[in-house]
Chain A
Amino acid sequence: MTGHRSLIFISCSLLAASCSTKIISTNIYQEHKEDLDNIERRYEKLNPANHFSLAFTDEKFNIVSVEMITDTLTRIYEFNVNEQRLADTLLTYNYDTAGIYYLIRKMQQTKVTWINSFDYYVNDQPQQLIILSIKPVTVRYIFSPPKYVALAYFRTAQSFDAKGRLLDSRRTKEVRKIKGQVFYKITDRICYTITDKYR
């Protein structure tokens, strides 16, 4: 009888939990602060010369999708990080090959699955922010969606409400959503969200 009850209890718990994925660490940014800030700084240095984004499309962080962006054409190629083709392609299009390889290695070590920069506008003037997504260690149940932690690095201090939600500007109380997500304060210019898509 007790065995049946336990089985029912476990089944019910599993069903109840089936819709949520749990991220093990509650403080990913602080735990990897140095590495994450280093990745952001390195990307910020490399990106203006030749705009690009990097995404790891496999769980083992071996396949990297490189978007090489110019005013007229975006080239999207996927490589195994050990392939010579990756270096050849970066060289062909005048990218800083060593710099990007360093970034790729750092991203693999810190489980950063995507990095890109975004234009946004304040008073009709262009601004830029960098977003990177981390693949955290999770407890995942059947049918539950994956979970990623996305960090947004702004260049200037931002405004937040009492709940720590990113606001549109100091003058409004409107919550600013990036890609449909509400972001929460870490520092004046860094905020985070939990999302089921890494980009």
Chain B
Amino acid sequence: MWPNVKPRLFYDNLKLNLEDPKSFYPGRSTNFCAYGALSYLVMERDPLAYVKFMNELYDKGEASFNNKHFKPSKAVMDAAGSLKFKGVLDIRHAEQMWFLALADKYKGYLNFFDKKFDEGDENTFWAATNLAKFDRMVSKLCGVHVEAVGSDLIKPWVKDTYRYLSKRIDSNIVSLYINNRIIHKKNHDKIKFSIPTHFIILRQIRKEGNMITLRYWDYGGETEMQVSSRTLKKIIFGIITIDK
């Protein structure tokens, strides 16, 4: 059913997911970051449901999660276990199945021209996620109330971003849809497209003078970085508040 998924790597991965739920790694150079953030939220709420779902998906090729039925396409089933050069995702065959199955099932307007999986599509628009699609996935798979401000092109109308975030972070889980190209530059061009590229889970935020220290989860671990108030406002396109 899953010709390239190795049973040992699959079960080792599930065990790791249970023991260390924050270790989900969406892979280097993929467009799986939204599914990574979603995994964080799923594991916060119901890790056993995830394991049960994955076992059923592995055994039968189809399964339901929170009453949402998944039956991945043959192309996706063939690809799972064969993704390479994505860092530790190479040997995490359960996570490969999970991310591919999510990208195969949930579609937004960014996927309009590339709905069918072809080799290498984990890095393309086939796997991309816009803000509304992310909100929909979180709401349906986690069964929680999701409140979002912002959009894919226009930044949220929030007067004081720091205050807005710090007010929500204690009683909710906060996810951010950010333009990662500003804080993680990839070329020296001064003019950059102002578009969001990355989903993260905000873990902590604090302010000293004009500098704001963010601690966030993505790619299987936490990252701490300092930005100015102006940069913080510049990078955030979506603030997603999720009930704890």
Judge whether B186 is part of the interface by a CB distance below 8 angstroms.
yes
Given known A73-B223, A74-B223, A121-B91, contact A198–B29 (CB-CB < 8 A): no
Q: Give the size of the chain A interface in residues (CB under 8 angstroms).
A: 33
Given known A121-B90, A179-B29, contact A73–B189 (CB-CB < 8 A): no
Q: Inside 8 A of A178's CB, which chain B residues have their CB? A: 85
Judge whether B123 is part of the interface by a CB distance below 8 angstroms.
yes
Please measure, in the bound complex, the distance between the C-alpha atom of A59 and the C-alpha atom of B186, giving whole angstroms: 12
Please measure, in the bound complex, the distance between the C-alpha atom of A121 and the C-alpha atom of B185, giving whole angstroms: 27
Judge whether A158 is part of the interface by a CB distance below 8 angstroms.
no
Judge whether A199 is part of the interface by a CB distance below 8 angstroms.
yes
Please measure, in the bound complex, the distance between the C-alpha atom of A73 and the C-alpha atom of B217, giving whole angstroms: 9
Judge whether B3 is part of the interface by a CB distance below 8 angstroms.
no
Contact indicator B223/A146 (Cβ below 8 Å): no
Contact indicator A120/B90 (Cβ below 8 Å): yes
Contact indicator A176/B85 (Cβ below 8 Å): yes
Given known A76-B223, A124-B9, A180-B29, contact A198–B187 (CB-CB < 8 A): yes
Given known A120-B90, A176-B84, contact A197–B187 (CB-CB < 8 A): yes
Please measure, in the bound complex, the distance between the C-alpha atom of A77 and the C-alpha atom of B184, giving whole angstroms: 11
Judge whether A118 is part of the interface by a CB distance below 8 angstroms.
yes
Contact indicator B188/A135 (Cβ below 8 Å): yes
Judge whether B243 is part of the interface by a CB distance below 8 angstroms.
no
Given known A118-B28, A124-B9, A146-B187, contact A75–B224 (CB-CB < 8 A): yes
Contact indicator A55/B88 (Cβ below 8 Å): no
Given known A72-B221, A179-B29, A198-B187, contact A77–B91 (CB-CB < 8 A): no
Residues of B within 8 A of A (CB): 6, 9, 28-29, 84-85, 87-88, 90-91, 120, 123, 183-189, 215, 221-226
